[in-house]
Structure 1
Amino acid sequence: MTDASRIATPQGRTLAYHLTEAAGERPTVVFLGGFNSDMGGTKAVFLEEWCAGQGLSFLRFDYSGHGESSEAFTDGCIGDWAEDAAFILSEVTSGPLILVGSSMGGWISLLMTRRMPERIAGLVTIAAAPDFTEDSMWAGFTEAQRLALEMVEQVALPSEYGEPYVITKRLIEDGRNHLLLRDPVPLPFPVRFLHGTADADVELSVALRLMERAEGADIHLRLVKGADHRFSTPECLALISGAIEEVLAAL
């Protein structure tokens, strides 16, 4: 595998990325990963190979504090990672984009539809988790955890994926500046939401609430019985690529 390319942001962060460019003027597919994940995950690598076979340009990258990019994970927040995404999309891609956002990447991709609406041609989300810092983390904290957040400005949460997540006061407070599900979410392009019914990290109610808030002429929610949050089985990966094909066909 080739080494990642790197680009410095105006804020002094360094982002690692892989860009595969194809001939032609079809949209570039962009994968936006989840909270504390990285661009080397199963879905990102699968989509890179799939897009190459389809003659589609493809971008995967690490937010600051994730994977191969600079900074500490605990220093980041939703605003920083959205800033990273907007910068790298503007600097290393051109033309229309199809965003594929996984978990937190679903939230970030929805924020991109507001920041650069003229660039977004379509959207696919996988277990999208908009507003999770407020509606899942903060809402689920005990009084002791809230007190710890106030006193020492961080709290550790257990994770099924490895080391505990250290959640900072800044992450929670900054997340409140980027909440989406309190208002309509205009999505005037083909959209496919994917969600597994066995997802233990993002409740099905989040997908239903997003579907309720979303406004557009071509928006579909596909529920996959038994699929978990990883959504990385061969069957699930085929559903992701199929959703991209549907978006392309609708353009």
Structure 2
Amino acid sequence: MDHVAVLALFDRDMREDARPDGPGARVERVDKVVRQVGAEHDWNGVIWSDLDGPGADAAIADQVRYFGKLGREFEWKLYGHDKPENLGQRLRDAGFVAQPEETLMIAELGDLALDAQPPEGVRLLPVTDREGVNLVADVHEQAFGTDSTRMRHQLLAQLTGDEDNVVAVVALAGDEPVSAARMEMVPGARFAGLWGGGTVESWRGRGIYRALVAHRARVAADRGYRYVQVDASSQSRPVLARLGFQPLTTTTPYVHG
């Protein structure tokens, strides 16, 4: 993989030319900033920027004022190669709080082995309705120890909207939900995004996460996508590397509000 070329393609497809990730949200392009704006439970934030040193602080202040008037907490999604090089420090100086750093990992679907299956006794259930969304959200709260209210709202809106851009799946051991994940597919883009792969602690290390990655990758391949991308935590990065994903840069959410 040509890392420089693929990263440039990712920036163009998924950031500079971003589309809303759900019904009710909109993407706005203001000067050298691309942002998504939605309701309170939608993801609100800056997706892409092309800033120079002299103009960075003013651009940051503009976004703080804009989302402040809306009464929205928002995120500035910073990538390791974004300019200026001290943009993270400028965001902290403006009152943003950095969340844990993750690694942007990308794989070309033609290079992945997509035959991984869940372990014996575990089955994958496609999520299509509110009951399934609740299973996904419950698993995420157990796996990550975080509140899933926003994700619950957003996933239900995506699944019940007019566009077929999201695939969600929950792994069941008998009737017990033990792992869950979703995939977002932007029409016209070459990248499908794998999100939220989480397994409850007692079921980790049994190949369920790997099976969920393979399941979603097969769907992406069937729908004509060339790449899959993940914002990988330190826990998932080794698994993804063994599957053939390659690290291209880091990504850090900076939250304000």
Structure 2 length as normaliser, TM-score? Answer: 0.28
Kindly name which structure, 1 or 2, has the bigger radius of gyration based on alpha carbons.
Answer: 2
Structure 1 length as normaliser, TM-score? Answer: 0.29
Bigger relative contact order, structure 1 or 2 (CA pairs below 8 A, ≥6 apart): 2
